[in-house]
Amino acid sequence: MQSFETLGLSGEIVDAVRKLGFETPTPVQSKAIPVLLQGQQDVVALAQTGTGKTAAFGLPLIQLMDENDNTTRALVLAPTPELAAQNGDSFRVYGKFLGLSTAVVFGGASMHKQKQAMFRGVDVLVATPGRLLDHVSQRSIRLDKVEILVLDEADHMLDMGFIHDLRRIATILPRARQTLFFSATMPPQIATLSRELLRKPATINIERKSAPATGITQALYPVPQT
């Protein structure tokens, strides 16, 4: 049985994971973490919500960010404030032994407080696309040192109409970066976006095939429209 130690994670990160009560990596973590730790290739990972995708990209990302210089070198985009806050909490827990700083920015919260956090400098920035662009327009954030871009729940961002924001953000970031694309599904627009943003990505597919729920009998009854 595979363990977090065998995936190549540092002892500090393994200790943090153990303190959370996790002993065995999920399938997406087992496949994604070794690839991401190489720190070079772009990645597309398809896995259902609730399969541990946050740790799949969060743990190796923190290990790659081995220097705490308060320069934003990792940007994680999430579709909702709730998911952004959840990701921010995860990064704080995973990286607490490494001294990495994290900030979370999303709509509905104080712009002033977010500006203060970013003025002090952060290593990992978690953001919703719209609020991130608000800060970009006000020049309250620098993204010219970003080395790793993560799109979390990319299909949900498409559903919420963020595809144009994602394209705009991509033009602001350095071209020489590693892009990690995590999604539960791959509809045509998301596939197109992945081809635009990623270069020769490794593909990790833990996508669950569609099937009727267990124990449910389905029937079709054609009826007249009236």
Cα(117)–Cα(208) distance, integer angstroms: 39
Question: Is residue 179's pLDDT more than 90?
Answer: yes
Question: Is residue 212's pLDDT more than 80?
Answer: no
Question: Is residue 148's pLDDT more than 90?
Answer: yes
The amino acid at residue 202 is: A
**pLDDT band at residue 208, thresholds of 50, 70 and 90?**
low
Could you tell me the pTM of the whole model?
0.84
Question: Is residue 43's pLDDT more than 60?
Answer: yes
Cα(60)–Cα(119) distance, integer angstroms: 26
* Phi, psi (rounded to 5 degrees) for 170: -60, -35
Element (H, E) at 46: strand 43-46
